Amino acid sequence: MINILVVDDHALIRKGLKQLLEDSPDLKITGEAATGIQAINMVRAQHFDLMLLDINLPDKHGIEILKQFKTEQPDLKIIVLSMYPEDQYGVRALKAGAMGYINKQSASDVLLHATRQVLSGKKYISDTLAEQLLNNLIGESQELMHQSLSNREYQTLCLMASGKSLSDISEIMNLSPKTVSVYRGRMLAKMGFTNNAEAIHYAITHHLVESQE
**Percent of the chain beyond pLDDT 90?**
49
pLDDT digits (tens, 9 = 90+) for 53-78: 998 888 888 888 998 898 889 999 99
| pTM metric for this prediction | 0.70
Domain extents for the chain?
Answer: 2-137, 145-205
| Cβ within 8 Å of residue 110, ≥6 positions away | 102, 126
The whole-number pLDDT of residue 212 equals 39
The whole-number pLDDT of residue 142 equals 44
The whole-number pLDDT of residue 190 equals 87
Q: Indicate if 145-205 has the same CATH topology as 2-137.
A: no
The whole-number pLDDT of residue 94 equals 87
Report the C-alpha gap between 47 and 191 in whole angstroms.
Answer: 42
Answer whether 53's CB lies under 8 Å from 80's CB.
yes
Task: Please determine, looking at this structure, whether the domain spanning 145-205 carries the CATH number 1.10.10.10.
Answer: yes
| DSSP character at residue 4 | E
pLDDT, averaged across the chain: 87
The whole-number pLDDT of residue 139 equals 57
| 53-62, 134-143, 177-186, 201-210: least confidently modelled range | 134-143
The whole-number pLDDT of residue 61 equals 83
pLDDT digits (tens, 9 = 90+) for 150-187: 889 999 999 999 999 999 999 998 899 999 999 999 99
Residue 106 has pLDDT above 50, yes or no: yes
Longest dimension (CA), the chain: 57
Superfamily of domain 2-137: Response regulator (3.40.50.2300)
Report the C-alpha gap between 134 and 130 in whole angstroms.
Answer: 6
